[in-house]
Amino acid sequence: MILEKINTPATVEQAVDLGLRADEFAMIQEILGRTPNFTETAVYSVMWSEHCSYKNSIFWLKQLPKDGPHLLVKAGEENAGLVDIGDGLGCAFKIESHNHPSAIEPYQGAATGVGGINRDIFTMGARPIAQLNSLRFGDIEEARTKWLVKGVVKGIGDYGNAFGIPIIGGEVFFDKSYNQNPLVNAFSAGIVKAGKMISAKAKGPGNPVYIVGSATGKDGIAGAAFASKDITEDSANDLPSVQVGDPFQEKLLLEATLELAETDAVVGMQDMGAAGITCSTCEMSAGGGVGMDIHLDKVPTRQENMLPYEILLSESQERMLVVVQKGKEDIVKRIFDKWDLHAEEIGVVTDSDRVRYFMHGTLVGDVPAESLVLGGGAPVYQREYKEPAYFQEYKKFNIDNVEQPEDLKEVAIHLMSHVNCASKRWVYEQYDSMVGTATMSTNRPTDAGIVNIKGTEKALAMTVDCNSRYVHADPEVGTAIAVSEAARNIVCSGGIPSAITNCLNFGNPYNPESYWQFVGAIKGMSAACRKFETPVTGGNVSFYNQSVIGGKEVPVFPTPTIGMLGIVPNKENIMTLDFKQKGDLIFLIGDSVNDIASSEYLYSFHKIEAAPAPHFDLEREFLVQEAVKGLIENKLINAAHDCSDGGLFMTLAEMSFPRELGFDIVSDAEVREDAFLFGEAQSRVVVTLTEETEEDFLEFMITTGLPFTLLGHVTKGKMCVDDDHYGFVQEYKDIYDNSLGMKLRG
């Protein structure tokens, strides 16, 4: 009787309730040649959600550069990007969001985000070796923000630490625009031997289809559709859409999966993330040009009497779909029995183009796989976009209208204690950065996280970067800066930028002004990636990041987070950021600019929000990075640190803290002192060197044609600017290390 009801044709009202539009429901009727039943409608609702189909973004995503010298897998071909790192090895890496679940249940939302991104990596046969994360929260003074921060950080730490993969870097940013809708972006990278990659494509009619890992429950049902909705004051009612993770189960799944990858039993494998069994069966089928017959009653479940659509849409964690070579089923069973995990045959690959779902022998769903997937029959829209009024207003900013404070020491202390500039020690001390013994940057501070590639001369450099305030001020320039800063961090660490993954966090795509921000970001990313030859390997689009407060949509700052992978050709050339010894010379490579636009100094000290993106020139940025590469290769410097948030003073302070060495510098008379110290003009790197290498350094820099300036020298422990004593390093370090923790406890 229940199955008969399930097979009753769905109504347009049901379709709309599931998140489809009326015209999309009509499209489904045309595709099927009939009205879909409720289960089929639910399948289309999640697969055609923004989260799965990228229907409002794919047109622009296709404009991004996807070709590069090191690529083994292009964007969209597999679960993650894959880059050749030499020595018969590849690196799989990807970043994804878990924003909406984290807004409702921060602990599980963040934890399952970590689990999901790691599964994308080891599903390809790669062993994860490093994680990073990029987090955005609202006003730190708000009680809800503190609750979210504590929950998210604990969720990431508990899951990552238990899973046993080091967290080697990241970023945390606070702004009131994220008050209701935080952003939680997780990055993972893993190593795979050449020729050992597992594809996410189904092939071979007659091959059995297995579900492996955990049992299926009712957690996370319609999570993909949930991720394509606004966060409102009533979103707590959507708690069943939030998945529940088990890191210990995932560790077992990792080892079982990698053991299986060493056999010849696997045809294809895919993680069950967004949209669960629905997504895995349809995408693997479409990818391989085949179909599947799936028997839902054979799926191990945690609750009795689960309905077909509940089994299909569940996003229970720690599960995979595996297509197995017929005749080698025993290999799969033996391995998963060894690791005490489910491995159940639930279907078979067919020579059709359809995925058919059965329950106790009754057909409950019959859909053409291609019609459901990104790049196939899923709808593609080009949304209207228009420049917001604020954009031209921001351009009217004039530095001359901002009075320079009499006491710049006050500014220095303000920035040192501000949560966007201060150390994120309270966060990273909850993460295990040393598990696995591959991390090389925990005790040797570098601009990017560094991971050893054992058995080779190489290391990997990884970073996540985005200053969302810059992107809000100018999406095109701000996103180009995000790519450039990521590359700069890798270069300053001794690496060569290789490729990027992105997590594009924006507001409602149906809002023309929000969509304008998205389009501008794509243009800026494209330009910068082409300049640095860092193709886009894939990533994630997360729309609907906004709060609905009092009936009004308030978008978050547009946040196109850039995850970049770089290769350090020789571990001996890893460059740290810390001052090495008293007397070393301090040089600035790049221009000192009379600019304070969109700086933390302008925004939080002067309370001026209306300003353009900071000074930036892509060509100059490229040349500065090439110069730093040359300086490192020729062993002419002993420290390098890029100028970013908080400006030059913050850069020098961060170089001071590790060894508690200070600095004595002279400002540029042609630039306002507040701009010199606290402006965030781009394309600047601070380096140090010994007096013995000064002559060679000068000769090299002259050949570059770039501006460079002797700022001063490293001191024993004082911080001096123009003979003005700003204080002792230890005083600032105490403020820097403890401010965030005090705010969260207060």
pLDDT at 3: 55
DSSP string for 495-510: -EEEEEEEEEE-S-TT
**pLDDT higher at 550 or 363:** 363
CA distances, 724 to each of 312, 390, 409, 512 (Å): 67, 39, 9, 50
Mean pLDDT of 511-521: 97
**pLDDT higher at 138 or 229:** 138
Give the pLDDT confidence of 219-228 residue by residue, as tens digits.
767 544 434 4
- For residue 442, what pLDDT band results from cuts at 50, 70 and 90? low
- For residue 626, what pLDDT band results from cuts at 50, 70 and 90? very high
pLDDT at 238: 44
pLDDT at 438: 67
Q: What amino acid is encoded at 564 in this protein?
A: M
Mean pLDDT of the chain: 92
Do residues 85 and 70 lie in contact, with contact meaning Cβ atoms separated by under 8 Å?
Answer: yes
Do residues 461 and 594 lie in contact, with contact meaning Cβ atoms separated by under 8 Å?
Answer: no
Residue 388 neighbours by CB distance under 10 Å:
16
- For residue 435, what pLDDT band results from cuts at 50, 70 and 90? low
Q: Evaluate if residue 214 carries a pLDDT over 90.
A: no
**Active-site residue identified among 98, 100, 342, 472:** 98
Whether 418 is catalytic: no
pLDDT at 222: 54
Of all residues in the chain, what percent are helix, strand and coil, respectively (each to 5)?
Answer: 40, 25, 35
**Dihedral-angle region of residue 27 (phi above 0 means left; psi in -120 to 50 means alpha; beta otherwise):** alpha
Helix (H) or strand (E) holding 491: helix 475-492
Q: Evaluate if residue 470 carries a pLDDT over 90.
A: yes
- 293-297: long-range contacts at Cβ-Cβ below 8 A with a sequence spacing of 24 or more? 293/347, 293/348, 293/350, 293/356, 293/358, 294/209, 294/346, 294/347, 294/355, 294/356, 294/357, 294/358, 295/346, 295/347, 295/358, 295/359, 296/346, 296/357, 296/358, 296/359, 296/364, 297/358, 297/359, 297/360
pLDDT at 549: 65
Mean pLDDT of 113-136: 93
Q: Evaluate if residue 533 carries a pLDDT over 80.
A: yes
Do residues 124 and 82 lie in contact, with contact meaning Cβ atoms separated by under 8 Å?
Answer: yes
Whether 98 is catalytic: yes
Residue 361 neighbours by CB distance under 10 Å:
8
Residue with tokens 């990027």: 500
pLDDT at 237: 44
Do residues 646 and 415 lie in contact, with contact meaning Cβ atoms separated by under 8 Å?
Answer: yes
Do residues 463 and 169 lie in contact, with contact meaning Cβ atoms separated by under 8 Å?
Answer: yes
For residue 442, the 8-state DSSP code is S
Q: Evaluate if residue 65 carries a pLDDT over 70.
A: yes
Instruction: Tell me how many degrees the CA angle 374-376-381 measures, rounded to the nearest 5.
Output: 65
Distance, CA of 667 to CA of 34 (rounded, Å): 74
Mean pLDDT of 64-92: 86
- For residue 376, what pLDDT band results from cuts at 50, 70 and 90? confident
Sheet holding 231-232, edge to edge: 231-232, 546-549, 552-555
Mean pLDDT of 216-245: 55
Residue 619 neighbours by CB distance under 10 Å:
9
Give the pLDDT confidence of 142-160 residue by residue, as tens digits.
999 999 999 999 999 998 8
- For residue 266, what pLDDT band results from cuts at 50, 70 and 90? very high
pLDDT at 392: 96
Give the pLDDT confidence of 352-364 residue by residue, as tens digits.
999 999 999 999 9
Mean pLDDT of 439-464: 89
Q: What amino acid is encoded at 198 in this protein?
A: I
**Active-site residue identified among 51, 100, 418, 615:** 51
- For residue 375, what pLDDT band results from cuts at 50, 70 and 90? confident
Q: Evaluate if residue 323 carries a pLDDT over 70.
A: yes
Listed range (250-254, 388-392, 551-555, 688-692) with the worst mean pLDDT: 551-555
pLDDT at 272: 85
CA distances, 639 to each of 36, 183, 305, 459, 628 (Å): 64, 33, 63, 18, 11
Return the CA Rg of the chain. 26
pLDDT at 565: 97
